[in-house]
Amino acid sequence: MTKKRVLFSIGSLGGGGAERQVIQYLTHLDRSQFEPVLYLTKREGPFLSEVPDDVPIASFEERVALPRWNFPGAIYRLQVQDFRKFLVEQQIDLVCAVTIMNVLVAGEAIKAVNRPWLAVSMADLRNELKRELGKFSTIKHRKLCRAFRAADRVIAVSTGDREGLFACHNVDPEKTLIVPNSVDIERVETLASEPSPNWDPHQFHIVLAGRLTHQKGHRFLIEAMDQIVHQQGMKQVQLHLLGQGELESDLKNMVSERNLDDHIEFAGFIDNPFPYLKAADLFCLPSLYEGMPLILLEAMACGVPIVATDCPSGPRELLEGGRYGRLVTPECSGDLANAITEAIENSAWREEVSRSSKKHVAEKYESNVTIRQLENHLLKIAQSQG
C-alpha cells in the first residue's frame, strides 16, 4: 500500500495540551502507512524540539509576507491561500486540522483542492466560544460551522467535547467520533525518574500545571489556598504553579495581596513537569472548561491523587464520576478548599486512588491504543475517496 502523506495543522507548539497531543500523533503514527507533515501558523513553542526528525515543518509566517495594514479578514485570506498552496506543493493526501482556528482555515482551503480531512476539537467551548474566536466572532462562527459540516470526520476528545460540538456547531452526529487524548506511559515514567524538585519533605505539596489563562481557573485555587492557610491554619501546605501566560502578573498580585507568597510558587514553564507530578502529594485542576485535559491523564499516570472541577467535558469522564479522584463545583473556591483539606487529612484515600488511577490510565489511554483509532479514521476517509 502506498503511504499516505498526512498534514497536521495547529497554530504553534506552545506549552498546552493540544500541542502535546499533536506531538503524540506525530511520534506514534504508523510510518508503514503514513508520512506525517506539520504545518504551523507560527514556528514557536517549547515542543518544537520534540517533533520527530522525519517530520517536515512549515509555518505560515515564514512562508508568507504579512501585509503592512491588517484589514479585517486579510490575514485569514492569506492563511487560506497558503494552506491550499501547501497541500498541492507537498502532495498531501489527508489533513488533520487541530483546534478551531485551524479548522476554520482548513475548511475554506480544502474546498478547492478536494482533500479528505479530519477536524479535531480539543475543548468543549459551549460557554466560551466568543472569547476563543475573538473579533468578528459571529462571522467566524458561521464559517466554523460550515467547516465542521464539510469535514469528512469530526474528532472530539471526550463525550462532553462531542456534545459541545453538537450544541455550538450543529455537526453531523454520524460523522462525529471520539478519539480520547493519550499518554505515552513509558515516556512519562522515564521522564518522571529524573531528579525531583528540592521541596521540603515536611510540607504537603500541591501542583497545578497549565497556562496562566482565564480557562484554567487559577484564581479559584488561590482563593482556596487563602482559606486553607489563613482560615483553617494549615501552614504546611505549598502550591506550585507550573506554566506561563497572560494572567501571571495579575495572579502574582493576588497572591501577594492575600499574604500567600510563602505558600505559592510560580515555577514558570517547566520543560519536564513529570518529576514535579511524581513528587506532588496532590494535583489540582480548577478549570472552567476543558476537552480532555492531557495534564490530568499525565498526573494520573504519575500516580498523583487528583482534585478537579466538574467542568463541562473532561474531568468527570477521566475520573469516572469521582472513582479516580475528587470532583468539585467549578468556580467555587469553598468546594475546592474543602476537597483539598479532605485529601490532606485522608492519606488512605490518597494511596488507594494513586494506585487505581495509574492502572486505569495505562489500560485505557495509552498512546498505542488511541493513536490506532486515529489511524483507522484516516484510512477510512482515504478509502472513501478512492
Report the predicted TM-score, pTM, of the whole model to 2 decimal places: 0.88
Q: Are residues 220 and 160 in the same domain?
A: no
Report the 10 Å Cβ neighbour count for 172: 13
Q: Are residues 151 and 28 in the same domain?
A: yes
Q: What is the pLDDT of residues 126-167, one digit of tens each?
A: 766 877 788 888 898 999 999 999 999 999 999 989 998 998
Residue 294 sits in the same domain as residue 232: yes
The pLDDT of residue 1: 66
Q: Which helix (H) or strand (E) holds 285?
A: strand 282-285
For the beta carbon of residue 136, count every other beta carbon within 10 angstroms: 12
CA distance 368 to 244: 30
Same domain for 206 and 169 = no
Query: Domains in the chain: how many in total?
Result: 2
**Residue 223, pLDDT score:** 99
What pLDDT does 131 receive? 75
Same domain, yes or no, for 378 and 345?
Answer: no
Over residues 174-195, the pLDDT tens digits come to: 999 999 999 999 999 999 999 9
Instruction: For residue 32, give the CATH number of its domain.
Output: 3.40.50.2000
Residues 18 and 133 in one domain: yes
Backbone angles phi, psi at 128, to 5 degrees: -135, 15
Instruction: Give yes or no: residues 15 and 58 share one domain.
Output: yes
User: Got the DSSP string for 3-66?
Assistant: PEEEEEEES---SSHHHHHHHHHHHHS-TTTEEEEEEESS--SGGGGGS-TTS-EEEHHHHSPP
Q: Do 42 and 64 belong to one domain? A: yes
318 shares a domain with 177: no
Domain that holds residue 31: 4-182+366-384
* Mean pLDDT, the chain cut into blocks of 10 residues (386 residues total): 93 90 95 98 95 98 88 90 98 96 96 94 80 84 93 94 89 93 93 96 97 95 98 97 96 98 96 96 96 93 97 90 97 98 98 96 90 95 80
pLDDT at 384: 79
Cell numbers representing residue 4 in the block: 499516505
Q: Among 130, 174, 179, which Cα is nearest to 159's?
A: 179
Same domain, 233 and 151: no
What the block records as the C-alpha cell of 340 is 483539598
Q: What is the pLDDT of residue 218?
A: 98
Q: Based on the fold, state whether residues 82 and 131 are members of the same structural domain.
A: yes
Distance in angstroms (rounded) separating the CA atoms of residues 225 and 361: 29
Please tell me whether residues 139 and 222 are part of one structural domain.
no
